Amino acid sequence: MGSRFGVRKIVVTGALGAVVVALSLTQLGYIPWISGASLSVLQVPVIIGAVIEGPVVGILVGAIFGATSMVQAVINPAKGPIDVFFVNPFISVLPRLLIGLLAWLAFRLFRGRLRPAAAAAAGIVGSLTNTVFVLGALVLAGAIPASVAGAVLVANGLVEAGVAAILTAAIVAAWGGVEGRRGKARLADEES
């Protein structure tokens, strides 16, 4: 398929985008965690899109993730004290665009190794991209102090990265197995 954006990429983008929207609207994308905080897995479909179809799909699914964050902040601003800041696309959308790009780069970097390890690395990098850039944007906007951002990075971000690594590796392996049976397995690091 080369660099063309074909039907397959459109379908994968739509399907993973729908997963992001469903996880966001139903709150299933948030796993309850300590002190009333929650772990997000909304970045995982973005990472998977980047791994199985490349950076453009990852960026587009990331845009959907960011848009759902922004819409949630507009329609439900009283959900949390900092959620009102997510109406700003610099906080809600821009960091999510970077998830797919950086996850894809990590996957490409490790592609010569075991695919599950490359997918896990993409999961870690993509998840930490989300955490670091969202927290950084919140600090720059004056929503939280840097010390709080550091605590959230350690308490939530590292665990989210571990969860994303496990989920990404498992889902990408399953995806490859399903496609392999049809004789058409293709991941973003393979040439079509």
Count the helix, strand and coil residues of the chain and give each as a percent rounded to the nearest 5.
75, 5, 20
- Whether the predicted pLDDT of 106 surpasses 70: yes
3-state secondary structure of 121: helix
Class of domain 7-181: mainly alpha
Rounded Cα distance, 6 and 187, in Å: 15
User: Which of the four pLDDT bands, split at 50, 70 and 90, describes residue 179?
Assistant: low
- CA dist 25 and 60 (Å) reads 19
On the question of pLDDT at 182 being above 60, the answer is: no
Question: Quick check: 2 pLDDT over 60?
Answer: no
Condensed to tens digits (0 to 9), the pLDDT of residues 81-93 reads 777 888 999 999 9
CA–CA separation, 168 vs 160, rounded Å?
Answer: 12
What pLDDT is stored for residue 155 in this prediction? 87
Q: Residue 85 has which token pair? A: 């800041």
Local confidence band at 185 (pLDDT 50, 70, 90 cut-offs): very low
Angle between helices 43-53 and 94-109 (to 10 degrees): 40
Give the CA count within 13 Å in the CB-facing half-sphere of 10.
Answer: 5
Is the pLDDT confidence value at 191 over 50? no
CA-based radius of gyration for the chain: 16
d(CA 103, CA 48): 9
Q: Model's pTM, two decimal places?
A: 0.86
